[in-house]
Structure 1
Amino acid sequence: MALSNNVIGAINFVAMLLSIPIIGAGVWLATEADNSCVKILQYPVIVIGVLILVVAIAGFIGGFWRISWLLIFYLIAMLVLIILLACLVGFIYMVTVNGSGHPAPSRAYLEYDLDSYSGWLRRRVQSSYKWDRIRACLSSSSMCAELNQSYRMAQDFFDAHITPLQSGCCKPPTECGHTFVSPTYWISPINAAADTDCLQWSNEQTNLCYSCNSCKAGLLANLKREWRTADIILIVTLVALISVYVIGCCAFRNAKTDELFRKYKQGNNPYN
């Protein structure tokens, strides 16, 4: 019985360690400028990671100190958290399965179309109330100013591999036909294209294309890339957690079987 309890405690210690990459993925998302402005995914990830840590600590204590009710709590709570984590992994995949950039003529960077992304993601940025807050957050960052420091010549900028957020927010869409002066300053053509983004463009450094659909699409493209990275971390951790949980269940069952067998050998039939 003592050996089984030690094994259970060791298994739960591993579960404690597995909470670290989950919490780390949430913290990493929170430090990314776009995710810190949108504030959608990082908090659920961090909360699940912290709950897994707390439950694993309970199982660790219950295993080493032979507290049966703590082990039962661990088995039930960890199963619920594994299911929640699996649902979150599946949700992230489903909302990021669509949407990608498309090439523009004579450009190394890509352009982004808002309609190509999932409806759930689009609803996070389409309402004026939500976007005004996100827009203010994005415009306060230095991502567009960094382009001016890095690219002086038009061809250098056209050959640059800038981020989706910079492509969508810091310059007008290529199809508008604006003339390059600097990465964030363009001369509008006499006859602007019909696309509303072309009319939204402003050389005011606090405005630029932050009101454009291309900016919203660039934000979603950035989110998709970062969420997919976090999802890979969560998938690997989920598989490891399931393995640890199954081993823990087997160890707990063996411990209870050993206890019943020991009582039976001592002539104390637990069923009488």
Structure 2
Amino acid sequence: MPLSNIVIGCINIISVLLSIPIIGAGIWLTTGPVNSCVMLLQWPVIILGILILLVGLAGFIGGFWRITWLLVVYLIAMLALIVLLGVLVGFIYMVTLRGSGRTQPSRAYLEYSLEDFSGFLRRRVESSYKWEKIRSCLSTTSICPDLNQRFTLAQDFFNAYLSPIQSGCCKPPTKCGYTFVNPTYWISPIALYIDIDCLQWSNDQNTLCYSCDTCKAGLLANLKIDWVKADIFLLMALIGLIIVYIIGCCALRNAKTEDIFRKYKQSYT
């Protein structure tokens, strides 16, 4: 077997291996109480990873068994998938560029505003129909009840670094002026700050601030953190696939040159 064909087969094994972190990133995005309640990015990533796996296997078979048409399919399909992966990496970066938390006086945790996030992410939670499903899912998780197990003193709670979803959904906004009893139970002030989130807070453990804009913002902030982590793995896989693809193109060209030279040599022997 010509050396170029062996190289093509070997580098396509690398393509198969590079699909694993992509599929893994998609599966990881389905775990955890927040991601399990919002299915946005998971399936596109998983499907893209599976397609790269299948195309890599096709390239491996075509390289080792010298199936020319299969190698052509591999080159075209892999180029298309690399472009799609690049678009996905860039898209995730753009939609997660905005949405930083805001500090509050005498508080270690941050609070989040829905207006700070990209329009794409906001549209995922602003619809009342979509949010009602998400809200119902969040209320069944242990995100907020866990805080009652961790904190009993107000100062300990105020000094805690809460996750965005806990900061937005499990307590009233700091500006509302509620008095701490426990992390999910607060006493309303005499003069309530005029804000829709302040009015929507409830000590009912199934309600809390799940209908608040701060909860929607906290959810998006949590998604942003997870998406950025996943995007790093996708970017590394993208760089690896580009390198493998370039090497594959060079090896295929060398393989064609070897075939031409071999045929030319045979014609004179």
Q: TM-score interval w.r.t. the shorter chain?
A: over 0.9
Deviations 1:156-206, CA, capped at 9 Å, x for gaps: 000001100000000000000000000000001122111100000000000
Q: Following TM superposition, by how much is the alpha carbon of 1:261 offset from its aligned partner in structure 2, in angstroms?
A: 1.5
Structure 1 equivalent of residue 258 of structure 2:
258
| Mapping for residues 148-167 of structure 1, pairs under 5 Å | 148-167=148-167
Q: Deviations over 1:53-104 (max 9, x none)?
A: 0000011111111111111111000000000000000000110101110011
Q: TM-score, normalised by structure 1?
A: 0.97
Tell me the CA shift for residue 263 of structure 1: 0.8
Greater shift, 144-153 or 28-37, is seen at 28-37
Residue 267 of structure 1 and its aligned partner are, at CA, apart by 2.0
Q: Distance in 2 between matches of 1:45 and 1:34?
A: 17
Secondary structure of the residue that 2:93 maps to in structure 1? helix
**Equivalents in 2 of 1:32, 1:227: separation in Å?**
13
1:55 maps to amino acid: V
Task: State how many pairs are aligned.
Answer: 268
How far apart, CA to CA, are the structure 2 residues paired with 1:213 and 1:180?
A: 21
Q: Percent identity?
A: 68
Q: 1:34: which partner in 2?
A: 34
User: In structure 1, what is the equivalent of residue 267 of structure 2?
Assistant: 267
For 2:103, give the aligned amino acid. Answer: P
Q: Aligned partners of 1:33, 1:39: CA distance in 2, in Å?
A: 11
What is the 5 A alignment of 1:173-212?
A: 173-212=173-212
Gaps in structure 2 of 5+ consecutive residues: none
Q: Describe the SS at the equivalent of 2:30.
A: helix
How far apart in 1 are the matches of 2:121 and 2:140? 22
Q: Which residue of 2 aligns with 1:237?
A: 237
CA positional deviation for 1:32: 2.5
Listed as ranges, the gaps of 5+ residues in structure 1 are none
Q: Are 2:47 and 1:56 equivalent residues in the alignment?
A: no
Please give the alpha-carbon distance, in whole angstroms, between the structure 1 residues aligned to 2:232 and 2:130: 28
Q: Does 1:100 align with 2:100?
A: yes
TM-score (norm 2): 0.98
For 2:170, the equivalent position in structure 1 comes to 170
Return the offset for 1:2. 2.1
Q: State the alpha-carbon separation in 1 of the partners of residues 260 and 3 from structure 2.
A: 15
The answer to whether structure 1 residue 143 and structure 2 residue 164 are counterparts is no
- Greater CA drift, 258-267 or 139-148: 258-267
- Aligned residue number for residue 248 of structure 1: 248
Matched with 2:218 is: 218
